[in-house]
Amino acid sequence: MSLIASDISVSLGRKQVLHGVSVSAQAGEFTAIVGPNGSGKTTLMRSLTGELACRGRITLNGRDIARMPPEELARHRGVLPQAAELSFPFTVAEVVRIGIEGQAGRTEALIPQALAAVGLPGFSGRLYQELSGGEQQRVQLARVLAQVWQPVDKETGPRWLMLDEPVSSLDIAHQLTVMRLAADYARAGGGVIAVMHDLNLTALFAQRLVLMCAGRVLAQGRPEEVLSDDTLSCAYGCRLRVNATPESGIWVLPHLAA
């Protein structure tokens, strides 16, 4: 089972943001979308989730998402946006509960399980607005995780986690927690697609990369195929070297993904 996007183009106002993008992601793998600011990563993600109208065709587990009603899409994929603002004083449990609303077989017992999975045990009764930015981000991830808790549905196949910059507000330890969670979800048979900025962290966990540049796919494939000096330097517009320690200064990088 897979997610396949064919010849996707998106215009926002008079500006064309995506130019005939074709990408694929397989269930059971962690696929990361990377690239410089303004390259079209989030626009591509919003197209893949069905949130943004686009030209071209996108299929999820063999079905055209344009023909799937929102409630059915919600059963097959959970979406974590870059940011989520709440105007009312919800508790953490109430935010996570949104993920299980209308989902057959989901009970309140799933709320503390989802919070524990993102490193927030005991947070159910706390007010969402009183949390730090990183804690709020993990609460939203718990909501999404609760929505697609089982990576594979026996009848309809794999479910998908679709995450837009899931570690952007997190410290190193919690970045690793979230990346391991996503990797475990993929290992259990689900699909994971994430927009990422940290190339080192991405290379530790992702099995497949899509490198965006100026609204187009510059390269896609295994990390060792995409992360080359010339390709990255072209994408980011600066001289980059892969797997080379800086000549001066301190370089801090987690060495183990497991």
CB 9 within 8 A of CB 56: yes
Does residue 159 sit within a domain?
Answer: yes
* The model's pTM: 0.93
pLDDT in tens, 24-77: 999 999 999 999 999 999 999 999 999 999 999 999 999 999 999 998 999 999
Count of domains for the chain: 1
Q: Which distant-in-sequence residues (6+ apart) come within 8 Å of 146 by Cβ? A: 96, 97, 99, 100, 106, 110, 111, 113, 114
Is the pLDDT at 7 greater than 70? The verdict is yes
pLDDT for 200 equals 92
Does residue 169 sit within a domain?
Answer: yes
pLDDT in tens, 70-105: 989 999 999 999 888 888 899 999 999 999 987 777
Does residue 91 sit within a domain?
Answer: no
Does residue 139 sit within a domain?
Answer: no
Does residue 188 sit within a domain?
Answer: yes
Does residue 243 sit within a domain?
Answer: no
Q: Which secondary structure element, helix H or strand E, spans residue 35, and what is its range?
A: none
pLDDT exceeding 90 applies to what percent of the chain?
Answer: 84
Q: What are phi and psi of 153, to 5 degrees?
A: -95, 130
Query: Which CATH number characterizes residue 12's domain?
Result: 3.40.50.300
DSSP annotation string for 189-243: T-EEEEE---HHHHHHH-SEEEEEETTEEEEEE-HHHH--HHHHHHHHTS---TT
Does residue 130 sit within a domain?
Answer: no
d(CA 204, CA 223): 9
Does residue 171 sit within a domain?
Answer: yes
Domain, as residue range, for 205? 2-82+153-236
CB atoms within 10 A of CB 112: 17
